[in-house]
Amino acid sequence: RASSPESKSGGRNSGADIKAHLATERRQIFVSVRVEKVNLIMRAHLSLCVLGFALAVSNAAVIKGGVEIPTYSEPCIRNSPDFNACLKKTIQYLIPKFALSGVPELNMTGLDPLYVPEYIQDYEGGEIYGKGIVKNSYVRGLAGLKVLDVRSKVNDPERMVLEVDFLLPKLQFDGTYKMEGAIGDLVVQGRGVYGANMTDITGTWKLKGHRVTVDGEDYMKIHEFHVRPQIGDAKFHATNLVNGNQRLSQVALTFVNQFWRVLYEAMLPFAESGFDKVARPVLNQVFLTVPYDQLFPLAKN
């Protein structure tokens, strides 16, 4: 059950209050739109995570399949007591440096802005059904990532664990959307443009992996990824939420800006449920390209 945030008036918005409010105003229409925004946040975090690790592991020149990854900085030695501090410093240094150019050797483009051509999401829960399509979206602000802490267990290649605590001071989203759905017997539709501003986004990337051998070379394969970002504050804008009815569209927008935190918390478990399946192939684009001993080298005697 989602926790109830404080309203601007200083009171508490309980689940019962929201349900009554929705029943009175018939404003549950916006729930389906929220799923796409949750998943765009997830996708932005995933892309940033992949670029961060790609840049960090590219510290030492690596050749695989005839492709050379340039040396960007000194490598982090996995059996050094300073490994976590080194990885934190490296990720922090390299993410803003390469946010625009990306890493061509790993077929990774720049992330700020991050362009999302299309994203489709369905949601069904109880009496609520929704399908939304977001197109031509841009996410700005990823280069402002702050790495707060890094924890790792990488000496055992059969049980690798990486955790990265992060802060994103600000993210901006904009694009176009189309949605359709129903709340009980109420059919809702809308299409238009949307925008969102979010501040103080925090969370932890959690990666678990194990060793695999390909053509006699050891690599680290990620078998689990998890992130549950929390948002400090958010403001949303969208046109034509209720197709052809400007007054109801404004009512819906006012509602979501008042209750966005409850909606976000309600959608987050749903968005997370399939995220690991999406995340692992993207992460392994890096981890199955760079050999394990180059990814996390040992100190030379």
Query: Residue 130 and residue 128: Cα distance in Å, rounded?
Result: 7
Query: For the whole model, what pTM was predicted?
Result: 0.74
What digits encode the pLDDT tens for the residues 132-181?
A: 888 999 989 888 889 999 999 988 888 889 999 999 999 999 999 998 87
| Between 55 and 272, residue with greater pLDDT | 272
Q: Which amino acid is residue 176, in one-letter code?
A: T
Specify whether the CB–CB gap between 252 and 29 falls below 8 A: yes
Where b means 16+ CB within 10 Å and e means fewer, 6-32 reads eeeeeeebeeeebeeebeeeebbbbbb
User: 41: buried, middle or exposed (CB in 10 Å: 19+, 13-18, 0-12)?
Assistant: buried
pLDDT score recorded for residue 127? 63
For residue 262, give the nearest of 35, 39, 2 by alpha carbon.
2
- For the chain, which domains are there? 27-295 (3.15.10.30)
